[in-house]
Structure 1
Amino acid sequence: MKLFLILGAINGFLAVALGAFGAHGLEGKLSEKAIDTYEKAVTYQMFHTMALLVTGLLLVKFQSGGLIWAGWMFFVGILLFSGSLYIYSITQIKTFAMITPLGGVAFLIGWILLGYVVAKHL
């Protein structure tokens, strides 16, 4: 699905831009722990950007509802996991950190679905 390739490209751009902002714009403004949290958000966003791109490429070959769901789970995971960690690291409002596990569950579901479809079709 072309949409997941576009979302992957956008998220790849954002991961690089937010990583650079964290390294240069937030240096000295956040605690070391907050910077570590921010970097974790960037890392997970980039890894799951790659998963979005792989999902989009696989959809070119296999039209599968499981792949479509996997792509959405990766995208939702980026929003919830990385998004909540970005906000939490900057604001230190614990409510945002409580959202993070929901994004982690979305990532796990995405990987299970991707693995299932690949095992079934390849």
Structure 2
Amino acid sequence: MIFLVQIVGAVYGLLAVIFGAFGAHALKKKFTEDQLKSFETGVKYQMYHAILLLVLGFNLPFSSSLETNMAYCFILGTFLFSFSIYGLCLTASKGKKWKFLGPITPIGGLFLVLGWGLLLYRFVRNFI
């Protein structure tokens, strides 16, 4: 599990840099200001959680279901949240917005919130 978390964290970080550069240069001319802001939000959240996954991957043993489920929440949540935003922005810029992606973004956000909640619980569980 440690290896998976580290690999996914590194891939998410790599892609966040690529997508950020792509958004800042290639998409700047094709996106509206709102689409560009949304795309940048997806990139930011992807990078934040890439770094988090790397930190967790180097600091947690993933010996409990709590830690494993937390990692899956961050991995899945980041994918659903950021990549649905990318899809919404790209398709909207071509006039063919994939509306089915709209509900996926908040589901990804819920997974991210759950992951952070599990991380908080891991820290305070001995005090409760």
Q: TM-score higher than 0.5 here?
A: yes
Maintained 8 Å contact 1:82/1:100: yes
2-structure distance, mates of 1:3, 1:81: 19
What CA deviation, in whole Å up to 9, does each residue of 1:48-68 have, x standing for no partner? 1122112212323x6221111
Within a 5 Å distance, the mapping from 1:27-46 to structure 2 comes to 27-46=28-47
Whichever residue aligns with residue 32 of structure 1, its letter is E
1-structure distance, mates of 2:11, 2:54: 11
Moved more, 48-57 or 6-15: 48-57
Within a 5 Å distance, the mapping from 1:4-83 to structure 2 comes to 4-60=5-61, 63-83=63-83
Maintained 8 Å contact 1:55/1:114: no
Within a 5 Å distance, the mapping from 1:103-118 to structure 2 comes to 103-118=108-123
State the Cα distance separating 1:26 from its structure 2 match.
Answer: 0.5
Are 1:98 and 2:103 matched, yes or no?
yes
Whichever residue aligns with residue 33 of structure 2, its letter is E
Q: Post-superposition, which runs of at least 4 consecutive aligned residues in structure 1 deviate over 3 A?
A: none
Q: Compare CA radii of gyration and give the structure with the larger one.
A: 2
Aligned residues: 121
2-structure distance, mates of 1:72, 1:90: 26
State the Cα distance separating 1:117 from its structure 2 match.
Answer: 1.4
Whichever residue aligns with residue 115 of structure 1, its letter is L
Maintained 8 Å contact 1:55/1:70: no
Calculate the TM-score normalised by the size of structure 2.
Answer: 0.87
The RMSD of aligned alpha carbons is 1.6
Kindly, what percent of the aligned residue pairs are identical? 40
Q: Structure 1 unaligned runs (5+)?
A: none
State the Cα distance separating 1:110 from its structure 2 match.
Answer: 0.4
State the Cα distance separating 1:121 from its structure 2 match.
Answer: 6.6
What CA deviation, in whole Å up to 9, does each residue of 1:99-118 have, x standing for no partner? 10000000011001111112
